[in-house]
Amino acid sequence: MSDQLILMMDGKPHRGWTRATVGRSIERGPQQFDVSLTDTWGNTEGINPRSVQIGMGLQVYVNDDLLLTGYIDDVDPEYGATTHALSARGRSKLGDLVDCSTEGKQFSGQSLAQIATLLCKPFGISVLIDASAKTAANQPFVGKTPTLDLGQPIWEFLEEQARIRAVLLISDEQGNLRITRAGTARADVALALGKNIKSASGSFSAQALFSDYIVTGQQPNTPQVKLEGVDNSQPKAAISSSATVARHRPFVVSSDNPLDIAGCKTRAEWQRNVHEGRSVGVVYTVSGWRQTSGGRIWTPNELIQVTDPWMGWNDQRLIVETRLMLDDDGSNTEIRVMPKEAFALVPEVETVSRGFIL
């Protein structure tokens, strides 16, 4: 059976879409969809502006495989005497956390998992925790009390706390919040130029690449202000870029937190790995929406072997985003990959402002 994209609304399946995109990424919380059709009157299985309305809850399927659970954000009808068109866009349930704010609240002595559960419950969103993130997500905040400011978007606040715990926040197929880390599961197939790769496009930037990454720490109970006649020199570590940066381009981070030389080196290595990983991104396009015939749908946050002689790649990459697409070219999937090191997070210190943000 060929794959069909189905929007389930009010218990009724809606098919017949002529163009569609379903995007899932580990870089943003809500998953996204955009569907449209153009046809003659009376030829679209009952799809019309009355059956597709803003705010409607829905589920997006490929045949029996659930991809997304959320709501319709926008509906754009366009019609004439003989033809009509309808477009609908929306996001998974986490979109409410991005849009909505509250009157503010403090969460003294609570963990990220507890905070997320309290904030997600009114929206009908459950919180799931992968094994890789369980210890971090359940660790209570013991430094500065997490404070959701008046009017602050809920998602922005949750991301701040997630960075402190070095975890990722993503959406699952049911629209729930999943606390996780960069994946270790492997895709069922490899991406290979000349085999399953139809086309590719890259995005490379040197703006965030530096010749040296320098992190200065602070001795415990030592002020940052230099006092005359007092040796309050701070720990410091410097590492060179592993990428080719020929000219002098230093990057210096000064930490307000107690860090010894080893801690400074760890932070400098992390900063380098993230910058270099994020500077290299390639989108591969493959036929169909499944990894193998009748197999699993392409899914983000999985490792995949990439064999691309033109780029000189023959190693594993992390699937950062997938876009299932339907258009005049048929059914295809865009797969964006990066080095896994781009998402190798390190915890931030709780007692200071979030200065180390991806």
Span 9-54, pLDDT tens digits: 988 899 889 999 999 999 999 999 999 987 655 555 556 666 788 9
Half-sphere exposure of 287 (CA within 13 A, CB side): 10
CB 300 within 8 A of CB 24: yes
Q: Which of 81-85, 132-136, 169-173, 177-181 has the lowest mean pLDDT?
A: 81-85
Question: Nearest 5°: phi and psi at 266?
Answer: -60, -45
- 3-class secondary-structure state, position 340: helix
pLDDT band at 227 (very low <50, low <70, confident <90, very high): very low
> Tell me, what DSSP letter sits at residue 354?
-
CA 305 to CA 320: how far, in whole Å? Answer: 14
- Shortest CA distance to 261 belongs to which of 240, 231, 230, 234? 234
Structure tokens, 70: 């959320």
CB 21 within 8 A of CB 87: no
Report pTM: 0.84
Residue 159 Cα to chain centre, angstroms:
11
**Is residue 307 pLDDT above 60, yes or no?**
yes
- 3-class secondary-structure state, position 166: coil
**Is residue 143 pLDDT above 80, yes or no?**
no
**Is residue 70 pLDDT above 60, yes or no?**
yes
- pLDDT at position 262 is 80
Q: Which of 87-96, 214-223, 228-237 has the lowest mean pLDDT?
A: 228-237
> Which of the two residues, 254 and 180, has the higher pLDDT score?
180
- Beta-sheet strand order (sheet of 250-258): 236-240, 212-218, 250-258
- pLDDT at position 354 is 40
pLDDT band at 352 (very low <50, low <70, confident <90, very high): very low
**Is residue 228 pLDDT above 70, yes or no?**
no
Query: Please, what is the angle between helix 112-120 and helix 154-164, to 10°?
Result: 170
Question: Nearest 5°: phi and psi at 349?
Answer: -75, 140
Matching CATH number, 191-205+279-343, of 3.30.565.10, 3.50.30.60, 2.30.300.10, 3.40.50.150? 2.30.300.10
**Average pLDDT score over residue span 149-172:** 94
CA 19 to CA 7: how far, in whole Å? Answer: 13
Question: Nearest 5°: phi and psi at 181?
Answer: -135, 175
CA 28 to CA 66: how far, in whole Å? Answer: 19
- 3-class secondary-structure state, position 85: strand
Where helices occur in the chain by DSSP H, the ranges are 95-99, 112-120, 134-137, 154-164, 261-278
- pLDDT at position 301 is 97
User: Which fold does the domain 97-180 belong to in CATH?
Assistant: Phage tail protein beta-alpha-beta fold (3.55.50)
5-91 is classed in which CATH architecture?
Roll (2.30)
pLDDT band at 230 (very low <50, low <70, confident <90, very high): very low
Looking up tokens 């020929």 gives 246
**Is residue 231 pLDDT above 70, yes or no?**
no
**Is residue 224 pLDDT above 60, yes or no?**
no
- pLDDT at position 225 is 46
What are the tens digits of pLDDT across the range 241-274? 766 788 899 988 876 566 778 878 877 887 888 8
**Residues, the chain, total?**
358
Q: Which of 85-89, 128-132, 286-290 has the lowest mean pLDDT?
A: 85-89
- The contacts of residue 314 (CB under 8 Å, 6+ apart) are 306, 307, 308
